[in-house]
Amino acid sequence: MSVSDRIIKTEYSEVMQKSFIDYAMSVIIARALPDVRDGLKPVQRRTLYDMYELGIRYDRPYRKSARIVGDTMGKYHPHGDSSIYEALVVMAQDFKKGLPLIDGHGNFGNIEGDGAAAMRYTEARLEQITQEAFLSDLDKDVVDFIPNFDETEKEPSVLPVKIPNLLVNGSEGIAVGMATSTPPHNLAEVIDATKAYMLDENITTGELMRYIKGPDFPTGGIVINEDELSEIYETGSGKIKIRGKVEIEKAKGGKTNLVITEIPYTMIGANIGKFLMDVAALAETKKTQDIVDITNQSSKEGIRIVIELRKDADVENFKNMLYKKTRLEDTFGVNMLAIVDGRPETMGLKQIIKESVKFQYEVTTRKYTNLLAKELERKEIQEGLIKACNVIDLIIEILRGSKDRAMAKACLIEGKIDGIKFKSKESKIMAAQLMFTEKQANAILDMRLYKLIGLEIEALINEHEDTMANIYRYEDILARRDSMAQVIINELDEIKERYKRKRRTQITTEREAVYVEKKVEEMDIVFLMDRFGYAKTIDTAAYERNKEAADAENRYAFVCKNTGKVCLFTNTGQLHTVKMMDLPLGKFRDKGVPIDNVSNYDSSKENIVFAASQSDLNLYRVIFATRQAMLKVVDGGEFDVAKRTVAATKLQDGDEVINVVTYREQRNIVLQSKEGYFLRFALEEIPEKKKGAIGVRGMKLGVKDSVEAVYYTQNAVEQTIEYGGKILELNKLKLGKRDSKGVKVRV
């Protein structure tokens, strides 16, 4: 067969579509989303099963995490070791999981965002509840086992978890085109709700919420939108508003300390550091002057962030400011998405419990079917041994008279007496009537002589009675749904009693935090920005004292209100606004801050052409001139915008803004082209346009020519420039018309 015969021609888009769908489904089903039955993602399930297989139980010594990760990766999870170790770490962190599944030994990270130590240093073993409620029945054929990735091992398709783990521990994961975000809940409440559903399958979500009050985050906090929870639990999606817990303590000198003892679940990790920075920024930007000091006194005992306030601080208003301006109040997006029957599905509270209970019935049915089969087999053997003990003399005679095991076995099962020597005819007749089963015959032949002791026979009879009681019980459980339900409920009660704990998250309905921002006293200040783009503000007195130096050293220097804005026009036609309150008010020799840091302006992509205060622009019109000689006048009020960045003008392809000024006492405009043409004409010829317009052509340019400079003149005011080494008087240039070529100035 030639190479061309083996080439399969197909539509490229079809191949891409199929490949993407296959990849997406792989991520959704086999990596990112949990199964509703056990609430675990594949990597979590495989890690726990591998620890179970390695015998790393709760009552045995810890083993190196690297051993667990390596074994899991080699046997069951053919992906990066970091993803396996990360899953192991998260299952051991009590500040992320409502019910930790792994007992970690060593540095497993902390709530402030410090990561766990390398896997070669840490150790782990299963938690007791994991072994008892997640893995205990794996030996009873309660779940299906499937081949691993290379078909050399078997792994469970799902763990026989006895609780609705998806609700207890929650889950977070990002797949392709979808994501799951299920909050953790209180174990005791979830078990109570599960029992309530089992007793009444028509129970409503609202009735279930009498047991499950709401999420129970391991970090505590306060859920403040209790009135919205019913809709969230009905639909499986929504937003939970959660606040940190704040306490007020009296400090020395009449000061007040605001102490944060619990944080929102979303603040775990690096967001605690960001919160501290945000609080510090409130003081630096003069949003508040109530903060004296802030310290993070958190430890293993818990969160403790202390904000020391001034004596006369309005504590309640300051607390509300923290809720408004920082992540002390945050939103947890709920999307209870999980795999149901091999497909991703968003479920409400009742459906999750329903699927969990359905799974419990399936597991319990398989468990007791398996136990019943074993008890029936035990019953058969026990009855055979009891029967054999009643005719033990005959059996001994058969064994002594047989030539081999097969002959004796044939006699016990089928009554074949050929070739066997008996002591009497009665024995021969009785032997011919024996009808043991094959299992009973094997048990008799394997029986040891000490079993003939009276106490052993009595123990065998008692054991048979226990077996019959078990058979009756198992048959009753399998035959009657009420009996099976009671078994499941008893197991749930036992788990609840052993592992329950108090709720940590408070559920309330509170009004939105109202923060009254203190009014800033309006005053004049001076905006300064040097040629390097560093900006600051100083008071007018400091400017007057240093006016000459300030004007010489800075590209822009003008008076504006401290409550106003600065407008920055760039060569790309953009307008960036900066609140004066965002700029530091300092001394004349302070460096200031890069204007990039307080605005959307990007010095690597654009240049500032003009800067002015918002209040000035409102009083005047603004003249625009571009490289391609497009001109227009715009009412300055159009640039009084709320957005930080808007388009100040529309540009043609390849064009850029080269000049922007406010229209004050100017009478004429002079355009200078790259090839030495000058055109002077009256400003009245430039029409007023909207900021979204391109404008009109001001000068006819040659093919390769462009506007190089723009000047403005006033009547009876002499204005000169240096051009080509000579002084050129702009007022003496011939007054032309807009859209003409102008005059060539020889140098």
Catalytic residue IDs: 121
Task: Identify which of 743, 581, 595 has the alpha carbon closest to the alpha carbon of residue 671.
Answer: 743
Distance CA 251, CA 260 (A): 15
Distance CA 562, CA 582 (A): 10
Distance CA 561, CA 614 (A): 9
Task: Identify which of 241, 316, 302, 251 has the alpha carbon closest to the alpha carbon of residue 272.
Answer: 302
Per residue in 625-663, is it b (16+ CB within 10 Å) or e — as a string? bbbbbbbbbbbbebbeeeeeeeebbbbeeebbbbbbbeb
For residue 558, the number of C-alpha atoms closer than 13 Å in the C-beta half-sphere is 16
Distance CA 86, CA 98 (A): 17
The answer to whether the beta carbons of residues 631 and 625 sit under 8 Å apart is: yes
Distance CA 570, CA 590 (A): 25
Cα torsion angle, 647, 652, 658, 661, sign = negative
Distance CA 437, CA 586 (A): 101
Block residue for tokens 């905006």: 527
DSSP 585: B
DSSP 139: G
- Residue 299 backbone dihedrals phi, psi, to 5 degrees: -150, -170
Task: Identify which of 595, 553, 538, 597 has the alpha carbon closest to the alpha carbon of residue 570.
Answer: 595
Pairs from 682-689 (Cβ < 8 Å, separation ≥ 24): 682/735, 683/623, 683/633, 683/712, 685/737, 685/738, 686/623, 686/631, 686/632, 686/633, 686/738, 687/632, 687/633, 688/621, 688/632, 688/633, 688/634, 688/635, 689/632, 689/633, 689/634
Q: What is the phi-psi region of residue 214: left when phi exceeds 0, alpha when psi lies from -120 to 50, beta otherwise?
A: left
- Residue 111 backbone dihedrals phi, psi, to 5 degrees: -70, -20
